[in-house]
Structures are given as C-alpha cells and as structure tokens.
A and B are shown apart, each in its own frame.
Chain A
Amino acid sequence: MMISSNLNTYLIIAAVLLVIGLYGMVQHRSLIGILISSEFILNGAALNFMAFNHFVAPNPAVGQIYALFIMGIAAAEAAIAISMIIAVYRKYQSEDPEELQDMKM
C-alpha cells in the first residue's frame, strides 16, 4: 500500500507541523519569529481538515471550505499582527518579547 494514500501519514505530518510551531513559539527571540511559528500551527490544522476530507468525510467540499477559511483567518491574523508589532516597535524600539515588560502604552 502506497504511503501517500494512507490517512495516518497526513495526520502525522500535521502533528509534526504543530510541534514545529510550538517549538518555534517557545524558543524564538522576536515577535516576528513567533508570528512565523503560528503559521505552522494553522497549516497543521488545515492539513488535518483536508486529510479527513479526503479519506473520511461524506461531503468532499466541507474540508476544502474550512481549509480556505483557515487561509483567510491566517491572512487577517498576519496583517493585524504585523501592524501590532510595528506599533509596539514604535513605542519600545525593540521586538524582543522579554523586553516588553509593562503593558502601559
């Protein structure tokens, strides 16, 4: 049996993407790095949707619609996060999460 036509293969790849994102979120030293890691987590979720859509779901359009939904969410999230990071950088002249201690702008 081919490994590319097996549900577990895709689930494991999605799990690895999730773990890559978690690891990057914990150890990156800049806000942009954390944003990049969050994209991996979102992609893992979308890959899960598509895998179940292809192998299990009764309606093969649902998984594609939700993967598209996740892409839209990710685009909106990236735009908002970048403008927030720019606003924070104007205030603190830094993007290291450890230097952003007080919340008062």
Chain B
Amino acid sequence: MIVFEYVAEALFYGFVALTFMGGFMAIRSKMLMHAVLGLAVALFGVAGLYFYLGSPFLTMMQILIYVGAVCIIIVLGVMIGNTPDQLAAKKQERKNLPLALVTCSVAFIGLFVAMILRTHFTAASERVGDMSIRFVGENLLYQYCLAFELISVILLTAIIGAIILARDGREEKTS
C-alpha cells in the first residue's frame, strides 16, 4: 500500500507543476491565445489540488465552470486582439518589467516570510460533518442560504449588464 502513497505524491507534484507552468505560460506569452491556454492548464492543475484537499465535488466544478465556461468566454474576447503579424509589426517592449518584478517579489516575500512561516495554525478541536456533497448542499440551503441567494442575484445582474453593455455600441452604429 505504501507504493500508492508515493504514486499519489508524485501526482501531486505533477498538478503543482501544471499550475506553475500554466501560470508562467499565461503571463509570459505574447499571443493571447497561448495565454488563455496557459490559464486553462493552470486551472486544471488547481482542480487537481482541490482533489487532494478532499473535495472531488469542487474538482468537478472547477473543471466545469472555470476550464469549461470562463476560458471559453475569454476566448471570445481574444477575437478582438491583435493578429500575430500585427504583433510583429508593433514590436512590443515590456516597459513595466522592473516595476512588475519588484512588486511581485515584495508581495511574495511578505506573504511567505511574514505570514505563512511565522504563523502557527491550530486545527479546530472538533469537526462536525464531512466533505460530502450532501453535507455541502444542506449547509448551502440552510445556514449559508445568503451566499446562495447572493450569487443568484449577482449572476442575474451580470447577465443583464453584459447584454446591455455589449448591445449599446451596436445600436449607435446602426442609427
């Protein structure tokens, strides 16, 4: 049985590598299509990490909502970006690179040293319930009903807002 633990551990490293490589691809590639592909790979890696955190339900939701829906929406937006030959003509210089590096290293070192390593997190003395979908559903509809209703209203507002925003310019152009 110890073999399976090592296999699981190796798969964990694989998911972490997927996350980081996807992230690197998303921020360093010049073509937006490659960036969206990197985002999808990284989100898939994070879905694997959710599985290791004991929630197969969130793994499925991550793949369904993020990789399936959000990435597709972003691909729709890529249509209005520059084509590869336009990019070559534009010759993008990365002016903000030193600023970006300083910001990110300060943020990471601040988080890493000041918060993560110096804090001792103690586990709760007793846990109620389990990680099952049934327990999540009961909590979502009884105790955390507000979150459920709030996300419904937000999604409805977002849909109406997106339709109005995207339609406005088109009406101006035709009239």
Contacts and interface: CB of A to CB of B under 8 A. Distances in A.
Interface of A: 2-4, 7-8, 10-13, 15-20, 22-24, 26-30, 32-33, 35-37, 39-40, 43, 46-47, 50-62, 64-69, 71-80, 82-87, 89-91, 95
Per DSSP, are chain A's interface residues mostly helix, strand or loop, or mixed?
Answer: helix
B58 A67 contact: yes
Per DSSP, are chain B's interface residues mostly helix, strand or loop, or mixed?
Answer: helix
B26 A36 contact: yes
B123 A56 contact: yes
Contacts of A24: 26-27
B73 to A, nearest CB: 5
A103 B63 CA distance: 37
A94 to B, nearest CB: 9
Nearest to A40: B23
B139 A2 contact: no
A82 B76 CA distance: 8
Given A8-B117, A13-B19, A22-B103, A56 B73 contact: no
